[in-house]
Amino acid sequence: MGLDKPKKVYSKRIRNLRRMILITVAAACLVPTCICVILAIRYDRLKSAYDQNKVDLEWYRDRFGDEMSILAGGNETVNTSDKVVSDSEPLTEEFETDYSDIYISGAQNPEDIEGTRYVYLTFDDGPSSSTDEILDILDQYNVKATFFVCGKPDTRYTELYKRIVEDGHTLGMHSYSHKYSQIYASLDSFKEDFEQLRVFLYQTTGVWPEFYRFPGGSSNGVSKVDMSELTAYLDEQKVTFFDWNVSAGDDKSGATKDTVYANIVNNIPKFKHCVVLMHDAADKKHTVEALPEIIEAVQAMDDTVIVPITEDTLPVQHIKK
């Protein structure tokens, strides 16, 4: 009996030691495995974000390359003679517009403003790797906006088109290709691009869009076709086009979160109906960064509401029809 006690203690120690060894071995296997799994998931997320950004940027570079050659006079298929686009102008998709000389429908004189001011936030060029973030912010503030989208058949965009619609925003058209040299080459090429986008959006979302924003606006000055022919065609199709009277300037070089905020918030008080131009693009992160503060500032303005474009919206248009 006297000899059993140290034996028991000894075997208990052995058991403890064995348990410790097992735990150590298990930990030595599990910890690196967990780290590997976490890293693999993170890598996968970063990789898909990187791929999406890459696709976005390639799309954009493709378009900008096109516009750069037009602005530099390198593309002979587009007539720029009716508007001088100097090299000093920023190489951007939307041209600087002098609002003093153009027709903008609606009660735009601040003196005339009575009652509610309507602010329409609009996003061009999407969907993109920024769309989800923009939609999250709009959702957070319970705000509905309008997305003038292009035709991007890559399946990674499919859910974004659908989410825009499912979240209750207005889906508008902004050309399928966004290539000025194609869209504005002739009335027929415009029609072809328009139909391609409309059918694509209907097949993707089930929505038959009723609103259009011309790439570069109706006052773009690079169209080979008289813009009145294109607006007449949209009329026939019962589609209303919208330009803008407030611009984020997020497509200008040197744009920052602060300039985007100031361009919008300082100009909204000038109009009763504010159609605000912004961009939904991978390289326009300032817009996303500024968006929450812009919405807060607009919501804090007296008698001002943020609403999506609907068939009842008074269009803001740069050219007289």
**Nearest position to Zn ion, beta carbon:** 124
Least gap, CB of 43 to Zn ion (angstroms): 33
**CA 130 vs CA 123, 163, 198, 230: distances in Å:** 11, 13, 23, 30
Which residue, 63 or 224, has its beta carbon nearer to Zn ion?
63
Which residue, 117 or 282, has its beta carbon nearer to Zn ion?
282
Least gap, CB of 214 to Zn ion (angstroms): 9
Which residue, 215 or 308, has its beta carbon nearer to Zn ion?
215
Q: Return the number of other C-beta atoms located less than 10 Å from residue 161's C-beta.
A: 23
Least gap, CB of 275 to Zn ion (angstroms): 14
Least gap, CB of 213 to Zn ion (angstroms): 7
Residue (of 174, 181, 148, 154) closest to 65 by Cα position: 181
Which residue, 240 or 304, has its beta carbon nearer to Zn ion?
240
Residue-wise over 168-181: b if at least 16 C-beta within 10 A, else e?
A: ebbbbbbbbbbbbb
Q: What share of the chain is helix, strand, coil (3-state, %, to 5)?
A: 50, 10, 40
* Angle between helix 187-205 and helix 158-166 axes, rounded to 10 deg: 70
Least gap, CB of 216 to Zn ion (angstroms): 7
Which residue, 117 or 279, has its beta carbon nearer to Zn ion?
279
- Contact residues for Zn ion (CB under 5 A)? 93, 124-125, 215
